[in-house]
Amino acid sequence: MTDATRNLLEQHFDTAFAAPDGVGRLRELILTLAMQGKLVEQDPNDSPASELLKEIEAEKQRLVKAGKIKKPKPLPPIKPEEVPFQLPQGWEWVRLNDALDVRDGTHDTPKYVDVGYPLVTSKNIYTGRLSLEDVKYISKEDHEKIAERSKVDNGDILFAMIGSIGNPVIIDSDVEFSIKNVALFKYFMDGKPSNRYLHYYLVHAQENMKAISSGAVQSFVSLGFLRNYPFPLPPFSEQHRIVARIDQLMARCDALEKLRKEREEKRLAVHAAAIKQLLDVPDGSAWDFIEQHFGELYTVKENVAELRKAILQLAVMGRLVPQDPNDPPASELLKEIEAEKQRLVKAGKIKKPKPLPPIKPEEVPYDLPLGWEWVRLQDVLDVRDGTHDSPKDAVGSDTYPLITSKNFSNGQIDFSDARMISADDHFEISKRSKVERLDILFSMIGGNIGNQVIVQDDRDFSIKNVALFKYYSRELTYPYFIKSFMEHLAADLQLKAVGGAQPFVSLGFLRNIIIGLPSVNEQHRIVARIDQLISLCDTLDQQIDDATGKQTELLNAVMAQL
C-alpha cells in the first residue's frame, strides 16, 4: 500500500462517518483493497503463492493416495477474461478448489427426530456466527451418512448456497452436526491457506456471487460454481498480515458505527424529551430549547417526522395559535350547525341522524382552551361510506371510476388505475354516497387505514370501502381543519382497527370519534399555521437530502481515488 493510498484511506474514515451507509461502504472498500493486494506492503522475502500451491498439491496427492479424499477432477485454467484485476508479484489466481476441498451438504431432507444431531442450514449462519438455537435434529444413522460426504471440523468454513447466498462462518466448535444446502470449505493442508483470509475473501465475493447466481424464485450457487470460482491467493505470510490489517481497520469501523449510533440515539432522545415537554407543559420553554438547537436536532429525518406529529398534536389541542377573545365560542357554532342540519332534514336532503351518546369524562384525552367544545365527528360532519359490494367492470363512454384507498396517491386521487363501472351502478352508489368537491375520503380498511384525500374537482365517481366526510355547511366547518385532525388520529386508528388479515374501522366508530372544535375563525388560523410549519418540515427534509447527497458525492470521490 502506497503512502498516498494509506492517507486517502485515513481521510475516508472521516468521510464515511458523515455519509449515509458510509461505514458499510468503507468495509467493502477495505476488503476490495485487501483482495487486490493493496492493503499491506508486499515483502520480497515472502515465499510466493506458487510455492504454497505446490505444498497444497503435494498434500492433496498424499490424501488421495491414503484414501482420505477422492481424486479431484482437473479444473480448467483461468482465462484472462475471468481475471477482474491484476495481482501483485508473488500472488496467484487460482480456482477455489485448487487451494481448498470444496464440498456441500445433503440436498435431501432426512427424517427429523426429537433427540439427535443438529441439521444446520443457511438460517443457522445468516448472522455471521453458527447458531444451533433454532435447529432440527436427525438420527445418528442419517448424520453419519451425511458426514461421509461432508464432515464438518473445527476451523472449516460454511457458506450458504441457496436463498440468502453467502454469510460465511468459521466453525469454532467441536460439536458434531450435519449440513444441508450449505457449502463446506475444508483444507487439503492444515491451516493453509489461512481460514481467516478465506473468510474475508468469501465475505467480499458473496455480493458478486449473488449477482450471477442462478434460479428465479430462489437463487442458488452450485457446487461446481464454487469450486471454479477465481480466488486471489497471496503468499502465506502475507495472508496473515492482510488479516491483521483488516481486523485493525474493521475494529475502527466498529468504533465508528458505535459512535454514530450513540450520537443518533442521543439526538433522538433529546428531541423526544423536548417534544414531550412541548406537549405536556404549555410554557414555551421546550420550543425555546428546540429553536436554540434547531440545526443539531433536525439533521435526521426521524426528528422531522416527530416534529410533524407534534405540530398536528398541538393544533388539535388548541395550542398552536393564540385564541382570539373576539371569536364567538364553539357552542354558538354548534347551534348554527344543528340549525343547518335540521334544515337539510326538513328539505329531504339528508336523513334525520340517530342521536349520539353524550361524551363521557373518561373519553376526554386533555383539557381544551376556553371557547372550544368536545363533540362527536357526526355532530359536525355527515359521515357516510361507499359501497362494500363489488360492481362489475364496465367499458364504454357511459362509465364512471370506482375509487378505493389504493387510488390515493400523495394526498390526491389517482384515476389512472381505477376500475370503471356502469352508470346504473354509479348512480345507485351515489344515492348513499355522492362525492363532491372538498369532501374528504378516508380509508377504512386494510393496511392504509387513515389515508385520506380532499376531493379537488367536480368529476363524478363512486367509492368503495372508503368513508366520506360531507359538510352540513362548509362555511361552518373548515375542510382542511377536519383533515388535519384526522391526520393526527391516523396512527392511533391503525391500533384501534378490528379484524385479522384485513383490519378495518367501522362507520359507527368513525361517527363517534370525539374532536375538539374551535370557532371557524380559529380553524382557519390553525390550518394556516400548520401549513407554515409543515412547509418548514418539508424544507428540513430537503436540507437533509441535500446534505446526504453531498456527503455521498464526497464519499464516491474518495472511493474513486482509491
Q: Which has the closest alpha carbon to 228: 85, 404, 102, 328?
A: 102
Residue 504 is classified by DSSP as B
19: how many CB neighbours lie within 10 A of its CB?
A: 24
Q: Which has the closest alpha carbon to 150: 106, 97, 119, 191?
A: 106
Check residue 163 and give left, alpha or beta (phi > 0: left; psi -120 to 50: alpha). Answer: left
The reply to whether the predicted model has a pTM over 0.85 is no
Rounded to an integer, what distance in angstroms lies between the CA atom of residue 377 and that of residue 365? 15
Residue found under cell 400548520 = 530
Q: Which three cell numbers stand for residue 399?
A: 362509465
Residue 473 pairs in a beta bridge with: none
- How many Cα atoms are found within 13 Å in the side-chain-facing hemisphere of 489? 25
Lowest mean pLDDT among 335-339, 441-445, 501-505: 501-505
Summarised one tens digit per residue, pLDDT across range 237-276 is: 999 999 999 999 999 889 888 988 898 889 889 888 888 8
Rounded to an integer, what distance in angstroms lies between the CA atom of residue 24 and that of residue 128? 15
Residue 20 is classified by DSSP as T
The answer for residues whose C-beta is within 8 angstroms of residue 375's C-beta and 6 or more apart is: 330, 334, 359, 514, 515, 517
Tell me, what's the pLDDT at 496?
Answer: 67
% of residues, the chain, pLDDT over 90: 53
Contact criterion met (CB below 8 Å) for 504 and 498: yes
253: how many CB neighbours lie within 10 A of its CB?
A: 18
Evaluate the omega torsion of the peptide bond into residue 193 and state whether it is cis, within 30 degrees of 0.
yes
Residue 348 is classified by DSSP as T
Q: Give whole-number Cα distances, 528 to 170, 524, 525, 537, in Å.
A: 61, 6, 5, 14
Tell me, what's the pLDDT at 478?
Answer: 92
Average pLDDT over residues 86-94: 94
Tell me how far apart the terminal alpha carbons of the chain are, to the nearest angstrom.
Answer: 11
Give me the domains of the chain, ranges plus CATH numbers.
Answer: 1-24+255-325+519-562 (no CATH), 47-234 (3.90.220.20), 330-518 (3.90.220.20)
Contact criterion met (CB below 8 Å) for 105 and 179: yes
Q: Which three cell numbers stand for residue 420?
A: 370503471
Q: Where are the alpha helices (DSSP H) in 357-422?
A: 377-380
Tell me, what's the pLDDT at 492?
Answer: 73
Residue 403 pairs in a beta bridge with: 463
Average pLDDT over residues 384-393: 91
Confidence band, pLDDT 50/70/90 cuts, at residue 494: low
Q: Indicate whether 235 pLDDT > 90.
A: yes
> What are the percentages of helix, strand and coil residues in the chain, rounded to 5?
50, 15, 35
Residue 373 pairs in a beta bridge with: 517
Rounded to an integer, what distance in angstroms lies between the CA atom of residue 132 and that of residue 152? 14
Confidence band, pLDDT 50/70/90 cuts, at residue 11: low
Contact criterion met (CB below 8 Å) for 436 and 466: no
Residue 497 is classified by DSSP as -
Summarised one tens digit per residue, pLDDT across range 145-191 is: 999 889 999 999 999 998 888 899 999 988 999 999 999 999 988 88
317: how many CB neighbours lie within 10 A of its CB?
A: 18
The answer for residues whose C-beta is within 8 angstroms of residue 190's C-beta and 6 or more apart is: none
Rounded to an integer, what distance in angstroms lies between the CA atom of residue 442 and that of residue 405? 8
Which residue did the predictor score with more confidence, 243 or 8?
243
Summarised one tens digit per residue, pLDDT across range 187-225 is: 988 888 999 999 999 999 999 898 887 766 678 889 999
Q: Which helix (H) or strand (E) holds 94?
A: strand 92-95
Confidence band, pLDDT 50/70/90 cuts, at residue 69: confident
Average pLDDT over residues 526-547: 90
Residue found under cell 371569536 = 327
Q: Which has the closest alpha carbon to 237: 59, 35, 40, 85?
A: 40
